[in-house]
Amino acid sequence: MHSSQPFELLILGSSAATPTANRNPTAQLLNIAERFFLIDCGEGTQMQFRKYKARFQNVNHIFISHLHGDHFYGLPGLLGSMHLLGRKNPLTIYAPKELKEIIELTHKHSDTFLSYPMHFVFTQHKINQLIFEDDKVEVYSIPLKHRVPTTGFLFKEKPLPRNIDKYKLEKLKVSFAEIHKLKQGFDAEDNYGNIIKNEDLTNDPPKPRSYAFCSDTKFFIELIEDIKSVDLLYHESTFLEDKKDRAKETYHSTACQAAEIAKQAMVNQLIIGHFSARYGSLDDFLAEAKTIFPNTELATEGSTFKI
């Protein structure tokens, strides 16, 4: 039961480098407990927000995987619109350090002074790092292998407090401070000094949920360790298996390779995207991945995935 805390992903773009008439470059909006995380921001992302009736002013954290244009060319426009619509809330961007230079030069020459504070957290592509943390969520960067420095991102709920059996609690006299201890997994005392065993009054909370975003990357087996057993995995799948050589050359993956990673990492569900413009229909991507990992879906524009 996570009814009070959403964990939901909206796909805003599923295209590889060259967009098509109906596929936009990469962008995803993740809502964990009303924290809205934008993951990559290809050209047209601000229009995709409007199309799918999502509010970009809710986003306080933007994660950019790498500096190929199809993953960040929508950022200057989005930052500008946030400003023009009167944003005051701070915005933090997690990205390779060179992005700051590009944004600053663009703002300088367009005479732009943002109405809100903007911070950068620079990512490193060779090590795992905790790059964001609050009381409910933590985000780690994941090293990927692409032609330029690239990271994936792992979004994890923090462990939830233990569930207290309210029926049993009603029969006891216990202070708020002791209830808090019970929620944290400790034993407690009632108002008369009697020990209450944690296991007698609490149940396990739901397992913390997790989402791993991996784009763009070639197939490499070391990735499995970083995304082990996540509930939902996005893994790029630029090509079909018949273009395996092309995938290797360009440091991208095939649908089969994405599925192989999902299978070996024992994730619950796989979603695939970043489809090359050469493919009209995406049916073969799904069919190919499912031969290896049946619980696969296409991460196409407007799809939502709830955990």
Catalytic positions: 70
Q: Which residue from 5, 6, 20, 263 is in contact with a copy of itself, where contact means CB under 8 A? A: 20
Q: Is 236 in the site for a copy of itself (CB under 8 A)?
A: no
DSSP H helices, the chain, are 45-51, 75-84, 98-109, 166-170, 176-183, 198-201, 223-227, 244-249, 255-264, 283-292
122 vs 205 by CB, closer to a copy of itself:
122
DSSP-derived letter for residue 87 is: -
- Residue 203, CB-side half-sphere exposure with 13 Å CA sphere: 9
Query: Letter for the amino acid at 130?
Result: L
6-19 as b/e: b if 16+ CB within 10 A: ebebbbbbbbbbeb
Q: Which residue from 11, 64, 93, 99 is in contact with a copy of itself, where contact means CB under 8 A? A: 99
Closest-CA residue to 2 (of 157, 149, 153): 157
- Residues from 58 through 87 that contact a copy of itself (CB under 8 A): 67-70, 73-74, 76-77, 80-81, 84-85
Q: Which residue from 27, 28, 37, 44 is in contact with a copy of itself, where contact means CB under 8 A? A: 44
Tokens of 199: 């296991």
Q: Which residue from 8, 98, 134, 242 is in contact with a copy of itself, where contact means CB under 8 A? A: 98
50 vs 158 by CB, closer to a copy of itself:
50
77 vs 185 by CB, closer to a copy of itself:
77
Cis amide linkage into residue 135, ω under 30° from 0 = no
Place of tokens 């809710």: 58
Residues that bind a copy of itself (CB under 8 A): 17-21, 24-25, 43-44, 46-47, 50-51, 67-70, 73-74, 76-77, 80-81, 84-85, 96, 98-99, 101-102, 105-106, 109-112, 147-148
